[in-house]
Chains A and B, each alone.
Chain A
């Protein structure tokens, strides 16, 4: 009985959070559209990769597959972008964090809700960009089967979760240093080069790929992009597979959640409000 009431209460809190954050994000539609556009890097890289024909073919990509891969990498990135560290840093510096900490709701849930609201605002822009892309590259047009599409959406959601957990871990460093966003820059570099955003993992030399697959980065872009594209997964040693990818994602989440809880608790104990 008590459990059911708590679940009910949780749902109501979530609905209110989503509704307010969505209304807030709608105000910033134009900015979010520009932000969606600033993810053009996969399209630029598609240009280089398709002009350098043999390098792509040697990685097992036909031209339409390559185009689909980079489009899906763009989509995966759009819905797993995380900016919690900047928001959190600002809230901490401006003193807004103190009232949040007093509320009977973990502050991170508020950020989760605002990220999800922002993704909902982004959706129409991403659909327009994808439609334009297929108009320009009609040969690349193909939709994944319903099963693959569902798995793809699930993978994007989990990629967002891993990204969010990693960045929150850095954000929690705000309790110790005021400029945690500088640390985020360091996390972004391996993400950019190893996630599959600028080059498909299949084009990496064997040892680098084996090493990259031990990091969470390929799970954030390359894996969901492959699922969304509907194209078959590559075979051979050191290759991502559907089961392996989801297993690794679960493992990272199981690892990161307790770590974040511990760091957060230690940080709050150390926290002594800005300017107070």
Chain B
């Protein structure tokens, strides 16, 4: 365990130092984040112009959901995209061999090798939006609900990670699956709105097939202090299951790995 933590500190230290070389990129990320958030808030506000609300959610409560989405999007830019998008390249160029030979767990290495600090501001702004909008929606921000929200956001992050990782791992068979992760990314934008804002058929789809509901709606309800306990339990169970499945799937996929050019 200690060895893994030490490796992680080295990994991220070097990655952050490397990223700081590209300050212009960092600036562009910041501007892009501000523009994205402003645009999302604008589109969200369009549903409240008539004063009816969105699937029973008030304007500040819907902003909490958008905040949770922003947090996860920031996490995607910080950790998931920089790492998992490389799996495809590793398979394509045969460098996965080197990863597998290292005396460290290959899933750990592939998932956490690098970090991109450019996504951190988005993470912070998303958390800020959640904390700012929740009291306006009438939440008391009791320590218990904050802790619960944090746990459920962590569960959401694990679910998101497992989805990406399994999809990226299919590159062992199909090599070029980069576009499949694009489909996932596009479908996950559904998490910008509370799941009750969708028609019943899509609501079922976003809960059972593509667990968007667990990603943003459930953590938002937790911080608002109105979460049914069975949703919280379900979210943690789904996260645990997703992690186990990603682990087993990676083991299974490796059995079919025959290295490039051989």
Interface residues of chain A, those whose CB is within 8 Å of chain B, are: 30-31, 34-35, 37-41, 44, 47-48, 50-55, 58, 177, 179, 182-183, 185-186, 189-190, 192-193, 198-199, 203-205, 208
Taking a contact as CB atoms closer than 8 A, the residue among A38, A48, A177 that contacts B47 in the complex is A48
User: Interface stretch among B137-145, B151-159, B175-183?
Assistant: B175-183
Which residues of B sit under 8 angstroms from A190, Cβ to Cβ? 35, 39
- Residue contact B54 to A34, C-beta cutoff 8 Å: no
Return the CB mask of B46-84 against A: 1 if under 8 Å, else 0.
Answer: 110110101100000000000000000000000000000
Taking a contact as CB atoms closer than 8 A, the residue among B46, B185, B189 that contacts A204 in the complex is B46
Known contacts A38-B186, A40-B186: A55-B179 contact under CB 8 Å: no
Which residues of A sit under 8 angstroms from B55, Cβ to Cβ? 51-52
Known contacts A186-B32, A193-B43: A58-B197 contact under CB 8 Å: no
Known contacts A185-B28, A189-B32, A190-B35: A48-B54 contact under CB 8 Å: yes
Distance of A246 Cα from B242 Cα, bound (Å): 50
Distance of A35 Cα from B180 Cα, bound (Å): 8
Which residues of B sit under 8 angstroms from A55, Cβ to Cβ? 46-47, 49-50, 52
- Residue contact B49 to A186, C-beta cutoff 8 Å: no
- Known contacts A44-B187, A48-B198, A203-B46; 6 further A-B pairs (Cβ under 8 A): A38-B179, A38-B185, A48-B193, A182-B25, A182-B28, A185-B28
State whether the Cβ of B36 lies closer than 8 Å to any Cβ in chain A: yes
- Residue contact A186 to B28, C-beta cutoff 8 Å: yes
- Residue contact A183 to B28, C-beta cutoff 8 Å: yes
Smallest CB gap from A35: residue in B: B179
Smallest CB gap from B49: residue in A: A55
- Interface pairs A-B: 6 shortest CB-CB: A193-B39, A34-B179, A189-B35, A38-B182, A38-B183, A38-B186
Interface residues of chain B, those whose CB is within 8 Å of chain A, are: 22, 24-25, 28, 31-32, 35-36, 39-40, 42-43, 46-47, 49-50, 52, 54-55, 174, 176, 179-180, 182-183, 185-187, 189-190, 193, 197-199, 202
Distance of A199 Cα from B45 Cα, bound (Å): 11
Chain A nearest CB: distance from B183 CB in Å?
5
Which residues of A sit under 8 angstroms from B25, Cβ to Cβ? 179, 182
- Residue contact A199 to B52, C-beta cutoff 8 Å: no
- A-B contacts, 28 of them at CB < 8 A, read A30-B174, A34-B179, A34-B180, A34-B182, A34-B183, A37-B186, A38-B185, A40-B186, A40-B187, A44-B190, A47-B198, A48-B197, A50-B199, A51-B197, A52-B47, A52-B54, A52-B197, A53-B52, A55-B52, A58-B50, A177-B24, A182-B25, A183-B28, A186-B32, A189-B32, A189-B35, A189-B36, A193-B39
Distance of A25 Cα from B182 Cα, bound (Å): 19
Distance of A38 Cα from B52 Cα, bound (Å): 31
Which residues of B sit under 8 angstroms from A186, Cβ to Cβ? 28, 31-32, 35
Which residues of B sit under 8 angstroms from A34, Cβ to Cβ? 179-180, 182-183
Chain B nearest CB: distance from A215 CB in Å?
13
Distance of A57 Cα from B183 Cα, bound (Å): 30
Chain A nearest CB: distance from B168 CB in Å?
14
A41, A52, A177: which has the most chain B beta carbons within 10 Å? A52
Distance of A127 Cα from B32 Cα, bound (Å): 33
A35, A47, A53: which has the most chain B beta carbons within 10 Å? A47
Distance of A51 Cα from B54 Cα, bound (Å): 8
Smallest CB gap from B34: residue in A: A189
Smallest CB gap from B50: residue in A: A54
Taking a contact as CB atoms closer than 8 A, the residue among B36, B49, B183, B190 that contacts A37 in the complex is B183
B31, B43, B55, B197: which has the most chain A beta carbons within 10 Å? B43
Distance of A39 Cα from B185 Cα, bound (Å): 10
Known contacts A55-B50, A182-B25, A193-B42: A40-B183 contact under CB 8 Å: yes
